[in-house]
Amino acid sequence: MKLNVARSFIKRVLMLSDDMYKDNNLLRIELILKKNNYPIRVIKKLTREELYKIDNLQIQPVNEVQDSLIDPNNTINTTITYIPTLSNKIQSILKSIGITRVSFKVNNKLQHKFTQLKDKIPWEQRTNIVYSIPCSCELKYVGQTSNSLKTRIQKHKSDLRLNKTDTALSQHIYYNKHTPDFNNTKILQHETIYKKRLFLECLNIINDSNNMNFRTDIENISSTYKFVLHAFNKYT
Q: Where are the domains of the chain?
A: 3-55, 69-109, 123-231
Q: What is the pLDDT of residue 3?
A: 80
Q: What is the pLDDT of residue 70?
A: 47
Q: What is the pLDDT of residue 59?
A: 45
Positive or negative torsion for Cα 51, 53, 55, 57: negative
Distance CA 4, CA 204 (A): 24
Positive or negative torsion for Cα 222, 220, 236, 82: positive
pLDDT digits (tens, 9 = 90+) for 219-230: 555 555 555 555
Task: Indicate the SS3 state at residue 113.
Answer: helix
Q: What is the pLDDT of residue 111?
A: 55
Residues sharing a CB contact under 8 Å with residue 19, sequence separation 6 or more, in sequence order? 61, 62, 63
Cut 0.75: pTM above it:
no
Encode the chain (236 residues) as per-residue pLDDT tens digits: 578 888 888 888 877 777 777 788 888 888 888 888 888 888 888 888 888 887 765 444 444 444 544 455 555 667 777 676 667 777 777 676 666 677 777 665 555 555 555 567 888 999 999 999 999 998 999 999 999 999 999 999 999 999 998 899 999 999 999 999 999 999 999 999 988 888 888 888 888 888 998 876 565 555 555 555 555 555 44
Q: What is the pLDDT of residue 187?
A: 95
**Cα 210–chain centre separation:** 16
Distance CA 202, CA 219 (A): 9
